[in-house]
Amino acid sequence: MPPSTAVPSTSAAAPRPNGLAATWTKLWPYLWPHGRPDLQRRVFLAFGLLLVAKGVTMVTPFAFKWATDALVAVTGGNQGAEAAATAGSWLWKAPILLTVIYGITRILMAVLTQLRDGLFAKVAMHAVRNLALQTFEHMHRLSLRFHLERKTGGLTRVLERGREGIEELSRLVVLTLLPTILEFLLVLGLLAWEFNWLYSAVVFVMVVVYLAYTYKATQWRISIRKQMNDSDTDANTKAVDSLLNYETVKYFGAEQRETARYDRSMEKFEKASTQTYTSLAVLNAGQAVIFSIGMAIVMVLAARDIMAGRASIGSFVLVNAMLVQLYIPLNFMGMLYREIKQALIDIDDMFAIIERNPEIQDRPGAEPLQVAEGVVRFEDVHFAYIPERPILKGVSFEVPAGHTVAIVGPSGAGKSTISRLLFRFYEPTSGRILIDGQDIAEVQQASLRKVIGMVPQDTVLFNDTIGYNIQYGRWDASPEEVRGAARLAQIDRFISLLPEGYDTPVGERGLKLSGGEKQRVAIARTILKSPPILVLDEATSALDTFTEKEIQDALDRVSRGRTTLVIAHRLSTVIGADEIIVLDQGRVVERGNHASLLAHGGVYAAMWNRQREADQARETLKRAEEEERSPESVAG
Ligand SMILES: Nc1ncnc2c1ncn2[C@@H]1O[C@H](COP(=O)(O)OP(=O)(O)OP(=O)(O)O)[C@@H](O)[C@H]1O
Ligand SMILES: [Mg+2]
């Protein structure tokens, strides 16, 4: 593991991770999945292999010892060796045989370990997939408020890091931590059995001191590393900022000042990163010292026993081989601690999302919405996004079945908010919203959203083809139906001009399309959904007057026979509405049809006159420009 990759990137802001045990308990059902006996068998097998591999690991130093002892027996008394050689006795071949066994155990050890890792990989990855899926599904269940508050990038990062965390944690615990603990216990037992408890005691103390030291040193290094990262980020930010301001730097001849500033950041970085390396050296050196002292003591014990004739020469290599073997996993402990800690933080973040309750939930026993006619009714609806700032202050109106009601009013009046409440992205603080007499707070959300078609104010498209985006309105629509919807939304002509037609990619968020084209795609997919209730939020705001007229016709056709709520800025688009509601600062200030509102001479009439004047001014300007050009064109 190179030093720069294991950085605890969230350590500062992240909450304290739950303990390993707590997180592991949550994770375990995914690693031991019910209903997947094949995966459970794998876990079982992996653990079996782990035991066997460790058994073999323990045999290896013994094979080494036996081979040594056999060698000593053969060559120890040189007279005996010659005798044995000439006699061709089995004794002569034993060392060779035992050495071969030693080789075989080493091979087995490696193969079994790899086999176990391979077996377990599928279990771990299955858990990763399941949890990622569950988190993703849950993210879609969480309310709009949650999504507006979290940056999407942040959410996907949680998903990504959680995924890595699970993989990392299960691998580290199952494939590194457990085997090491097992090996450690086996070593203690075997030492006591082969020699006496003093050996085990020395090794035990050595490992405890080793771990304590590693823990302390790693804690210390984590903070150093954080400093290094911070200073690195700082230097980078300064460099980017300075280069972005290239011109300003030149205006003020400040190159030297900029360089000096960058150098100050780099100086901090230099210090911090030097410290990271020296601290690594300290960590490694300390570990080696502690381990070597322990090993030396054990070997002194062995030497004394051998000299006293209580043990064979082979015991000497046995303790050495056993401890050197144990040193390999011990060496990973610092890394293991750091990585497990990070993985726990990442997994906790992911579980925090899964465990978060959606703000808007179906009531227990909620029934599906039954729509016969599609009457929409707002009854004294109050609403605030944040309690201190009420947005709707008692809004009441009714859209009779099959009729069109328009909501107009200044920007920020709360028009789009009304559509969000109807879709139940938020719940009113008080008051009720009814569809065909059923309170939408009491019905299943899915059934509510099925009957409402929404053409939102800002259309965002999926980064796929135009065809895909239109078909999104109704997944089982045939290609003919898709084309029909495109025709109704007046976008078919545009599509036919594209070389790739319906297969043209629209780019991220639909950015390769113009605002008006995007809006027409949104209209087409709503036409395809064909819901009994329609909400059009400034559906034609991004269009020029000519296209607007055409789409208006299309929308009129689509909304015929459907309950329609139109939200509009341009009053010319709502003249035909059955009722127009003028909303101002969260209150209905006027209502009536176009003619009666004009006659009333209130807010609506004033807005109408302002817009007419503006339109006329534009007209005049355009005519003047045309006249200015025309003599030239005649002359030409
Ligand atoms: N998620 C939110 N959190 C807090 N305030 C919000 C949120 N969404 C909207 N608002 C505020 O609520 C008010 C009403 O917003 P709304 O989108 O309903 O206005 P609108 O009438 O549709 O305006 P426009 O004509 O500009 O689309 C605005 O002042 C806006 O700042
Ligand atoms: Mg709006």
DSSP 535-598: EEESTTTTS-HHHHHHHHHHHHHHHTTSEEEEEES-GGGGTT-SEEEEEETTEEEEEE-HHHHH
Query: Which protein residues are within 6 Å of ligand 1, measured from CB?
Result: 148, 385-386, 391, 411-417, 457
**pLDDT tens digits for range 456-483:** 877 888 889 999 999 998 899 899 999 9
* CATH no., domain 461-530: 3.40.50.300
Atom of ligand 1 at shortest range from CA of 414: 18
**What residues have their beta carbon closer than 5 A to ion ligand 2?**
416, 457
Percent of the chain with pLDDT over 90: 27
List the domain boundaries for the chain.
Answer: 16-354, 371-451+532-636, 461-530
* Residue 478 structure tokens: 């045939």
Look up the pTM and report it. Answer: 0.73
**pLDDT tens digits for range 204-229:** 999 999 999 999 998 888 888 888 88
Q: Any idea which fold 16-354 has?
A: ABC transporter transmembrane region fold (1.20.1560)
pLDDT of residue 241: 85
Ligand 1 atom 26, closest CA: 411
CA atoms of 507 and 517, how far apart (whole Å): 13
CA atoms of 167 and 347, how far apart (whole Å): 10
Atom of ligand 1 at shortest range from CA of 144: 1
Mutate to test the pocket of ligand 1, among 415, 421, 455 (most ligand atoms within 8 A of CB): 415
Q: Which amino acid is at 603?
A: V
Same fold, 16-354 and 371-451+532-636: no
pLDDT of residue 7: 34
Pairwise pLDDT comparison (525 vs 627), residue with the higher score: 525
Q: Any idea which fold 371-451+532-636 has?
A: Rossmann fold (3.40.50)
Ligand 1 atom 11, closest CA: 412
Confidence bin at 426 (pLDDT 50/70/90):
very high
Find the 28 Cα to ligand 1 centroid distance in Å: 44
Rg (CA), the chain: 38
The residue with tokens 């071949």 is 93
Mean per-residue pLDDT, 373-398: 93
Mean per-residue pLDDT, 96-101: 84
Q: Which of 6-10, 14-18, 369-373 has the highest mean pLDDT?
A: 369-373
Find the 421 Cα to ligand 1 centroid distance in Å: 12
Ligand 1 atom 7, closest CA: 385
Q: Are 186 and 323 in contact (CB under 8 A)?
A: no
pLDDT of residue 466: 92
Ligand 1 atom 10, closest CA: 385
Atom of ligand 1 at shortest range from CA of 417: 18
Mutate to test the pocket of ligand 1, among 148, 359, 378, 385 (most ligand atoms within 8 A of CB): 385
pLDDT of residue 301: 92
**pLDDT tens digits for range 17-60:** 567 788 888 888 888 888 888 888 888 888 888 888 888 888 88
